[in-house]
Each structure stands twice: as C-alpha cells, then as structure tokens.
Structure 1
Amino acid sequence: MKNVLILAVALLIFQKWDKIEQYFNPLLDYASLRPGKVILYATEWCGYYQKSRELLREYNIPFYKYDF
C-alpha cells in the first residue's frame, strides 16, 4: 500500500511539474525592470556575449545585461 501511495505522488508531481516549477523559477518581465529593450543573457567567458556587447555599444543600442 505504501508503494502505491509513493507511486501515485510521484506520478502527480510528474504530471504537474510545469506548474510546480513556476513556484521555484518564476518568469519575470525583465524588460519592464530596465530601460533597454534588448536583454543580453551573458557570462563573461562567452565569446558570443563579448561580440554582441561590442556590436550593441557600437550602434548605441541600449541593453540590459542579465548575468548568469
């Protein structure tokens, strides 16, 4: 009986995982938090981030850096 209960709870968690995950990782509207329309998800070691940042600065495009 105990194994059936554990299996039922595990199945329920599996089926509702997307809703459960929203409590732990809520989606935020980062555009409303910062003035720039562009959000640049970044890590300092990433070459793509560095090139993107240079390009945005070259063309004076405001951006918000979201660092991982």
Structure 2
Amino acid sequence: MNTRYKIYHPYISPFDPCPPMQVKSFSTPPHLYLGFQPSNLEQFSPQEALRAGTLWKVFYDPYYSPYEKPTGGI
C-alpha cells in the first residue's frame, strides 16, 4: 500500500539525556508512485501552477506537518 506519509521507529539509546520520540514520520512526493508521466494529465491554470509549484495536478503535494491539520487545496 502506497501512502504519502511513512513512519519509522528510530534507535533509542539507553544513554539518551532526554525522553526520545518513539515514532517519527516523513512525507514522500507523489511522483515516486507514478513510474512514468502519462499523456493528457489534468493541468493547473498558469496562476494556480505558480502557487502550486507544478503544472500537473497529479504531482501537486501540499506538505503538512504531522502536527498541523490539512486545510483546503490551492
């Protein structure tokens, strides 16, 4: 199953001076799951593309910190 957020359990040393984080997460970009770019992909308008950072909607990835709630799109 491909998800955009992955989690892992880092090594916790018995000598850590602070209470460690048990689980950490990271985001993966959507282009990793496509393999190749199909033709006729849906596109943003030029103004939306500048805000999104990509022309194609399938490659848009609004990054959200694991500590914040996702809000609307562009």
Greater relative contact order (Cα < 8 A, sep 6+) = 1
TM-score by length of 2: 0.23
TM-score, length-scaled by structure 1: 0.24
Give the structure with the higher percent helix.
1
